[in-house]
Structure 1
Amino acid sequence: MEAQKNMPVDHVFVAMFGGLPGKPTGLAMSVLRRAEAFAQAGVSSRILIDAFSLDFDRQIHELKRRERIGHGISVRYMYHDLAGDQVCDEGIDYVSPLGREGWAYASPEGKPNVLIGKFQGQYRHRVTLREDRVLFIDHLNAGTWEIREWYDWSGAVCRIERMGASEKPGIVQYLGRDGNCYLEESRDEATQRVLGWELYPRTERRVLCSDLVEVFRYWMQSFVLTGETKPIIISEYGVRRKALNTLEDENNARVIYTLHNNHFAPPHRYGSAVRPDMADLVKNLRDCRDVVVLTTEQREDIWKQFGWMPSIHVIPHFAPAVSRLGERDPKRVVMVGRFHKIKGQLAAIRAFRRVVDAVPDAKLVFYGRGGEEGEMRRLIASMSLDGSVSIAGFSADAEEVFLGAAMSIVASDYEGFCLSLAESMVAGCVPVSYDIKYGPREMITNGLDGFLVEAGNEAELADALILGLSNKTRMDSMSEKAKRIGEKLNTGRFIREWTAVLERSAGGA
């Protein structure tokens, strides 16, 4: 990557949507790749996480091992700051929170991840495990569940849910490693609606907040932006907009909002209602100084619906150049991504029954993880595809996956860009994609470097795969053309386009 050192700022803050897993995919991967490109251009990224995670420290160490953070990329965690904690040492010894003297624990039949704890013969604990460590303990007193204690990876209690008469939490407390409560959440027991938050700072009186957005604002103002002059904040998915508006005024800050996904609710087409999780940002777009979307088509749809706005910019992801050669299997098809019903794995399996009937030695391999895996396995078995379709699990090396396959599948209901599609093409793995919003039609020229098929049409999906797998000469030609996407989605272009947006923000435009 050709480093550019003329960007108008030396660091940016990144208000993350959700967490930052140790094995990142999707949004997390795109944020980290952008941070890596920024670092090469001399701009550091300070990623801000405000989503509570029991495993935050563990994920950070995993990211460091994978060299995803460091070298101009740092991560700040709201709950650590509020508690006065730091990321714990990687080699910290696990200390089990289970009782010892007088306690006995045993798993009920068929539930190896559950322990029933008895103290001197009386049932007092119900323990839920993750791997070989305690996830949470439910404490029973006089036949009533009173407390649920959650534990981090080191075995320290970090959150306590205090049950009311309905045996649902009315109070949720967050504890630091010193055992003190630094944040308390009040809930309506019947509806579980959050009523408010109380912060317990070390040097101030308690702070009352009506919602988590106000907690975020307090954290930003008291910990993150202290000493900053005209900070630039990139807000992924437009989260915490109301708090960020206030922070802009209070700190002379500039906020750049990003949309990483289709903003339409089902059926995810033009004219559909706006998704509830994006409604706040979309209805307030005119008040935003700068908004970045990933495709020209999405910008056009927004303009058609809400009117022209010069503040909306298109900056597609970049596709990292392929660093090695691979041995491609001409009958291998892959599908990479989260195992979720919106990603279309079940549709791909059903379509592959038709493929195998026409091309008996065709193979489909899924790479990913997620809650749909069980249903995928059941469908594979019910369609007698065990010898043709397999699930390989998560792979941290998408490049290797695509270099080893002839074709890939995108069968999502919707996307924001579909980074895995770009990765497939740059590796010369010919894609077959549903023609969905957004991304595929801006990357694929149908029949030249991939195939676009009608969204939801499993028969057409299968026929495109059959056409490709049955004609190696044509596939070899399409593979070479697919690689040209790297010329369009290169890092230099990506940095130039982001530089223009940052210059607008730094200049106060």
Structure 2
Amino acid sequence: MEHHVYVAMFGALPDQPTGLAVSVLRRAQAFATKGITTEILVDTFTPDYDGHANRLRALGRLSDLTIVRSMYNDLAGQPQYGSSTLYVSPLGGDGWEYVQDDKRSEAWRGRENGTYRHFVWMRGEQVHFIDHMHNNQRVRREWHDVAGRVCKIELMNSENKPELIRYLDRGGFCYLEELMDSVTGKLRGIVLNQVEGTSLFFRTKVDLFRHWMQHHVLNGDASPTIISEYGLRRTALEALERENNARVIYTVHNNHFPSPYTYGEVRADMRDFFDHMHKYTDVIVLTEEQRIDIWKQYGHLESVQVIPHHMPKSTGVGPRDEKKVVVLGRFHDMKGQLDVVRAFPAVLKTVPEAKLEFYGRGPDEEKIRAEIVSLGLEKSARVVGFTNDSYQVFSEAAVSVVASDYEGFCLSLAESMASGCVPVSYDVKYGPRALIRNGVDGLLVEHGNLRELADAMTYLLNNDDRRKQMARSAMEVLSTLSESRFLDDWMQVLEDKIVKGRATQGDEVVPSEDHITESVHAG
């Protein structure tokens, strides 16, 4: 049995996690109960990464058997900052004046002796980045870590595009450089500088990831198991398989079809991964429907397994407002919050005391607020903002709504059901129809049908006895998505007890080291 797994993370690992980050953290917690160590590998640059990791551990989101590593810390050869790290503000002192923007509270403008020189973006009480200005033109952007030190510098050209990006260690040494095309803004190459004066050149970030994995993470580990979230960095992972006798388990967390997100061609950003589907030993999807769609397109591959997320028992304590509807998720057009706002006036005609609350964060927040005002719903609807406790939100509401264009599984839908908050959901790929027994523990409605969406909310708010019966049925999801079932499924995969068929045709991985060029600094 495998006692250590590496997780190649997609994106950052914030201290207020959502979606993929939540599922990765919950999986690691579950694995820990079986004595399995999970090493979460973050290759996305986050200037305050150390603070996020420390807060996750302080909040109990990281068990003693969960390790979090940053590619950038490893390449810089520096440990993670401790939780008691002293912060020193990088803002100017005497002669400087900083004024907060009247619309964006995070934005400040700094003037030195009356001359505009700094545009500052804050995260809480700490500086996130500073744009250095000259004659009202941004010449460079400096990113700051949790100690206030500069950790990344973007040098701008006359078109306000980065032409060179430098990453600095805590001593100010530039350990990594990204060379940018000044016209297109695309990456031309990456230089990893060594303290002894040599450097390595990489064509892509995937090549850099491979180097980090090979020389810093695996570092001689025999036959490691790597879980790759979203199936990215395929070429690097295939090389790591070959060079380390590694086993790579790919996970798919999202709908793989483009708009309108129904069966058809594969999304452009996922096409390379799916084009090589026959080569993989293990692919984990979240719903049976997605597996069947893959089989229809690529043939019957036993390597494709279904392991849904698991749901911890709800910790929400109420009290439940029998007229409250909640929507929880990223504020983004594909999540359909505007559809819910536009459907709600019809609900109020029959249930005038109904309330609608939105929880989340994202680029469409102001659009949602504006639509509430435009429809005159200020007394009935509001945007609350981000919550760290989705279970508490759902335990206080009668109905939840998922109006997404697509989902991979929809954790918030399962959390709503686990909390006894009856869901109304668009019947989209994937997840809603795998979780909801229509009319038994929730209601499925046609995607984009605002009248049906309004009628479903109205029905549940107007029929307390029926809704309460459905709420009891919804909580049965806790047994369907239990941790024991989840672990049994994953143990089958990790212990390789599933007999899998894998086609051997297709492109072969050719051993090569030409992704790296070694050179010596002159001078």
Q: Normalising to structure 2: TM-score of the pair? A: 0.91
Query: 2:316–2:419: 8 Å Cα contact kept in structure 1?
Result: no
Q: State the SS of the aligned residue for 1:137.
A: strand
Partner of 2:465: 473
3-state secondary structure, aligned to 1:475: helix
User: Alignment length, in residue pairs?
Assistant: 499
Query: Quick check: 1:138 aligned with 2:151?
Result: no
Does the 8 A contact of 2:85 with 2:146 survive in 1? no
Which deviations, in whole Å up to 9, do the C-alpha atoms of 1:393-440 show, x marking residues without a partner?
222112111122111101000000111111111221111110000011
Aligned position for 1:436: 428
Deviates more, 1:446-455 or 1:200-209: 200-209
Partner of 1:23: 16
For residues 206-250 of structure 1, what are the alpha-carbon distances to aligned partners after superposition, in whole Å with 9 as ceiling and x for unaligned?
Answer: 111001001111111111001311000000001211111101111
- Give SS of 1:377's match: helix
Q: Distance in 2 between matches of 1:219 and 1:474?
A: 56
- Cα pair 1:254 1:508 within 8 Å, conserved: no
Tell me the distance in 1 between the aligned counterparts of 2:498 and 2:225.
7
Which of 249, 255, 260 is 1:267 aligned to? 260
Bigger drift between 163-172 and 459-468 goes to 163-172
1:5: which partner in 2?
A: none
In the aligned structure 2, how far is the partner of 1:175 from the partner of 1:48? 20
Superposed CA deviations along residues 322-376 of structure 1, whole A, max 9, x for unmatched, are 3465332211111111111111111111111111111011111111111211111
Report Cα offsets for 1:38-60 as digits up to 9, x if no partner: 11111111000000011201211
Matched to 1:188, the amino acid is D
Residue identity matched to 1:464: A
Aligned partners of 2:7 and 2:229 also within 8 Å: yes
Choose which of 21, 25, 49 in structure 2 pairs with 1:56: 49
Alpha-carbon distance, 1:167 to partner: 4.0
Partner of 2:456: 464
Q: Which residue in 2 is equivalent to 1:13?
A: 6
Structure 1's 359 and 84: CA in aligned 2 closer, same or farther, altered over 3 A? Answer: same
Give the 5 Å matches for 1:269-288. 269-271=262-264, 273-288=265-280
**1:150 pairs with one of 140, 143, 152:** 143
Question: Deviations along 1:120-150, whole A, 9 cap, x unmatched?
Answer: x655544444444333333356886543222
Give the C-alpha shift of residue 105 in structure 1. Answer: 2.7
Following the alignment from structure 1 to structure 2, what is the Cα–Cα distance between the partners of residues 343 and 203?
Answer: 50
Q: 2:199 maps to what in 1?
A: 206
2:310 alignment counterpart: 318
Residue type at the aligned position of 1:191: T
Give distance in 1, aligned partners of 2:158 and 2:498.
Answer: 54
Aligned to 2:504: none
Q: Which amino acid aligns with 1:447?
A: G
Distance 1:149 1:290, change over 3 A: same
User: Per-residue deviation at 1:110?
Assistant: 4.3
Q: Report the Cα distance in structure 1 between the residues aligned to 2:182 and 2:431, rounded to whole angstroms.
A: 43
> Could you say what secondary structure the match of 1:107 adopts?
strand
User: 4+ residue stretches of structure 1 with deviation over 6 A?
Assistant: 505-509
* 1:114 equivalent in structure 2: 108
Q: What's the CA shift for 1:96?
A: 1.9
For the residues of structure 2 that align with 1:364 and 1:141, how far apart are their CA atoms? 47
What is the one-letter code of the residue matched to 2:231?
Answer: G
Q: Does 1:304 align with 2:274?
A: no
| C-alpha distance 388-141 of structure 1, shift in aligned 2 (>3 A) | closer
| From 372, 391, 395, the counterpart of 2:364 | 372
Amino acid aligned to 1:185: E
- Structure 1: how far apart are the matches of 2:101 and 2:334? 35
Question: Any idea what SS the aligned residue of 2:356 has?
Answer: strand
RMSD, aligned CA: 2.1
Q: 1:173-204: per-residue Cα shift (whole Å, max 9, x none)?
A: 00010110110000001110100000013357
The residue that corresponds to 1:175 in the other structure is 168
Distance in 1 separating the partners of 2:99 and 2:415: 45
**Which of the residues 315, 318, 333 maps onto 1:341?**
333
SS in 2 for 1:206: strand
CA–CA distance in structure 2, aligned partners of residues 321 and 438 of structure 1: 23
- Percent same amino acid among aligned pairs? 49
- Deviation string 1:296-337 (CA, Å, 9 cap, x unpaired) is 000101111122211100001111123465332211111111
What does the per-residue CA deviation read over 1:443-470, in whole Å, with 9 as the maximum and x for residues that have no partner? 1111111100001111101101111111
Please tell me whether the aligned partners of residues 372 and 378 of structure 2 are also in contact (alpha carbons under 8 angstroms): yes
Q: Are the counterparts in 1 of residues 445 and 452 from structure 2 also a CA contact under 8 Å?
A: yes
Over 3 Å counting, the alpha-carbon distance change for 1:58 and 1:505 in structure 2 is farther
SS of the aligned residue for 1:160 comes to strand
**Residue among 392, 399, 404 paired with 1:412:** 404
Shift of 1:506: 11
Q: Is residue 2:37 matched to residue 1:44?
A: yes
After TM superposition, the structure 1 = structure 2 runs for residues 182-201 of structure 1, keeping only pairs within 5 Å, are 182-201=175-194
User: Does the aligned pair in 2 maintain the 1:15–1:234 contact within 8 Å?
Assistant: yes
Instruction: Give 3-state SS (helix, strand or coil) of 2:46's partner.
Output: coil
Which whole-Å CA distance do the structure 2 matches of 1:183 and 1:73 have between them? 27
Alpha-carbon distance in 2 for matches of 1:74, 1:216: 18
SS at 1:18 equivalent: coil
CA contact (8 A) 1:82 1:201 kept: no
- Pair 1:392 & 2:384 matched: yes
Describe the superposition over 1:64-86 as per-residue Cα deviations: whole angstroms up to 9, x where unpaired.
Answer: 12111132111000000011112
Which residue is equivalent to 2:156? Answer: 163
3-state SS of 2:220 partner? coil
> Aligned to 2:433, what secondary structure does the other structure show?
helix
What residue number does 1:3 align with? Answer: none
Structure 2 Cα separation of the partners of residues 145 and 421 of structure 1: 44
Output the CA distance in 2 between the equivalents of 1:173 and 1:286.
Answer: 39
How far apart, CA to CA, are the structure 2 residues paired with 1:98 and 1:475? 55
Match of 1:486 in 2: 478
Letter in 2 for 1:439: G
Aligned to 2:509: none
Distance of 1:206 and 1:88 partners within structure 2 = 26
What's the counterpart of residue 500 of structure 1?
492
Residues 25 and 61 of structure 2 are in contact (CA less than 8 Å); yes or no, is this contact kept in structure 1? Answer: yes
CA distance in 2, matches of 1:495, 1:318: 9
Structure 1 unaligned blocks of 5 or more = 1-7
1:309 partner SS: coil
Q: Of the candidates 228, 234, 240, which is equivalent to residue 235 of structure 1? A: 228
Q: Bigger CA drift: 483-492 or 289-298?
A: 483-492
Runs of at least 5 residues in structure 2 that lack an aligned partner in the other structure:
502-523
Which amino acid is 1:227 matched to?
G
Offset of residue 508 of structure 1: 10
